[in-house]
Structure 1
């Protein structure tokens, strides 16, 4: 049973999410100022903070396994350095193919100095709203198979759409995703309220 304290933390997070969705739609010209309040409350009472995403590939092994997995993703409509943190496993738009999505670990954000192990590469600092994402699998070739920032360079924080918080490999093999401790604390009430393993198992592609 979910405690009252958890429900309060969840409600606060959901209100912040709903406000972000409303503001994003308003700034994008999708709704008027009169519709802003209705949009916020509609998302608060009817929306969810999470969605399911099926991910396939060996790039994130062993964290997510090397077979197809179903992920519970916490949606983040307005991404900035206060909402995602180094160490988080994030879902982002594929910089090479905008119709696809990638799951990678956030390795650095704006202001970080990037120094390559290859002496031919010059050090550089990530600019505002930039981040660096990496595959977890150390056995894949960095610039040939990893398909991460070592291949396509820095990506915009705006390309991140959410954080993976729970992973289902099979109906009997599932558990929380190992993110930064700060994010895991933030996401704990969301997991308690919205996690439905049976629903994840039904949508899982074996």
Structure 2
């Protein structure tokens, strides 16, 4: 039953964004089919090492500056939007000012939410449609860029959601995301976890 739910979830994730392309005329039916098949062949999970203390203590707690950080398990998000990214999720995103850089950040506001600063000189504003507000967990890492520096983040710049941080083969931690994300990711994690290896 778990594998059936897994393939249903994966198929839905692969079909939905490509279906929009098909109906809008951006994709032919052949391209639609090819994209869906290619997406289903790729695992939904992958690992990557992130350095820096921007997300400490959640990720890289106690890792000295300049050293490789923890490996994280990431769930790819094919078509990130309000339907797949939720408040309090820890996501991997591309820097909107430098597409060579990727960050791990926490989503703290969604489209339509009003942002009010502690600084009375800042003017309140609402998060625009198709965007969210992401921040670092470690307020002491003042050089680490987040939405306070680059503004609202387009959902299109989100690559995935962090599920685990791995310090060693015997020392790993499940990352607590939103309840919606934890429920959706559970099925993918249960089926693909064995494929991750080291």
| Correspondent of 1:7 among 3, 24, 34 | 3
RMSD: 2.1
Q: What is the CA deviation profile of residues 47-105 of structure 1, one whole-angstrom value per residue up to 9, with x for unaligned ones?
A: 21122222111000010123301111111121110110000000111122111111100
1:41 to 2:37 alignment: yes
SS of corresponding position for 1:138: coil
Q: Distance in 2 between matches of 1:42 and 1:93?
A: 23
Q: Does structure 1 retain, via aligned residues, the 8 Å contact 2:92–2:102?
A: yes
2:162 is matched with 164
Q: Distance in 1 between matches of 2:47 and 2:15?
A: 22
State the shift of 1:38 in Å: 3.8
TM-score normalised by L of structure 1: 0.84
Task: Please give the per-residue CA displacement for 1:11-34, whole angstroms capped at 9, x wherever unaligned.
Answer: 1111012214644776795x5322
- Match of residue 191 from structure 1: 189
Match of 1:64 in 2: 59
Q: Normalised by the size of structure 2, how large is the TM-score? A: 0.87
Q: Which runs of 5+ in 1 are unaligned?
A: 202-206
Moved segments of 4+, more than 6 Å: none
Indicate if the aligned counterparts of 1:54 and 1:71 stay in contact, CA closer than 8 A.
yes
Number of equivalenced pairs:
191
Question: How big is the shift at 1:169?
Answer: 1.6
